Amino acid sequence: MHNLAVIEHQKQRVLLTTQLAEGYGASARNIHDNFNNHKLRFQEGKHFYLLQGEELKKFLQHDNIGVQNPSKTRRLYLWTEKGALHHAKILDTDKAWEVYEELEDTYFRVKKTMSYEDMIILQAESVKELKADVQENARRIDKLNDETYVTPEQKNYLQLARNKRVVELIGYRTKAYNDTSFRNRVYAELGRQYKNYFKISSYGYTLKNRYEEAIKLIDSYNLSMELSMQLDIINSQKIA
């Protein structure tokens, strides 16, 4: 990221989303998505500035910053050095870290004399951020443990519980059970309700900490009215 045009806001250097994305080897959408997914880690005025309305209009008129279609721009994010660091942490790629270090050593480095008080404040903020990072990592580890998928054995038991519930509802070796098309519709309806409830694509993606809940959900499944009526019709049919 050489020869960057200097953009300043509130007496500090900032970067556009497009500049950050290009430098970090990501897309602007990726930067925005990461921001939206980790909003609690970003503080306006410290990690970013959001310009809109009159403030945005004045900023675009005053600074030639290379924003595409400025007349159509309704909001603009400006990322501070601390914001750029957060994005590098979230992306966590070699490219992102390499570019951030370059920005830190060049673009964001403004020669000025730092007072003793400023140094103390800066150190305190660094310790505070380090503590927050440690707490965030601990939270992620706890969340990761909670979000481990069920074991293969548990997955097999879920499928056995599904089969058992289907047999309980339509009977074993009954006319309805022997009707492959109908039996498959029952399996499909149960599976669809299960996957929609847990927002997953297969039984294997069930979270381990929700295993008991999954068993209860399967055991409580009942035929829809349509399938229940069709079950009665099929079982009442006489064998030719």
Main-chain dihedrals φ then ψ at residue 93, nearest 5 degrees: -115, 160
Determine the pLDDT at residue 135. 79
Taking alpha carbons only, the member of 124, 138, 167, 151 closest to residue 211 is 151
Percent over 70 (pLDDT), the chain: 88
How many angstroms separate the CA atoms of 68 and 19, rounded?
Answer: 12
Tell which residue, 68, 51, 38, 70, has the closest CA to residue 8.
51
pLDDT digits (tens, 9 = 90+) for 92-128: 999 999 999 999 888 888 655 556 676 777 677 778 7
CB contact set of 23 (below 8 Å; sequence gap of 6+)? 1, 99, 103
pLDDT in tens, 6-52: 888 888 899 999 999 999 999 999 999 999 999 888 999 999 999 99
Residue 85 is predicted with a pLDDT of 93
- Tell me how far apart the alpha carbons of residues 78 and 147 are, in angstroms, rounded to a whole number: 34
Which are the contacts of 173, defined by CB distance < 8 A and separation ≥ 6? none
Judged on CB neighbours under 10 Å (0-12, 13-18, 19+), 99 is: buried
Q: How many helices (H) and strands (E) does the chain have?
A: 11, 4
* Residue 140, CA distances (Å) to 41, 143, 145, 152 in order: 13, 5, 9, 24
Tell me, letter by letter, the H, E, C secondary structure of 173-230: CCHHHHCHHHHHHHHHHHHHHHHHHHCCCCHHHCEHHHHHHHHHHHHCCCCCHHHHHH
Distance CA 11, CA 24 (A): 24
pLDDT band for position 240 (cuts 50, 70, 90):
low
What pTM was estimated for this model as a whole? 0.47
Instruction: Check whether 154 has a pLDDT greater than 80.
Output: yes
| Mean pLDDT along residues 213-218 | 96
- pLDDT confidence of 218, banded at 50, 70, 90? very high
**Residue ranges of domains in the chain:** 7-112, 152-236
User: SS3 of 47, please?
Assistant: coil
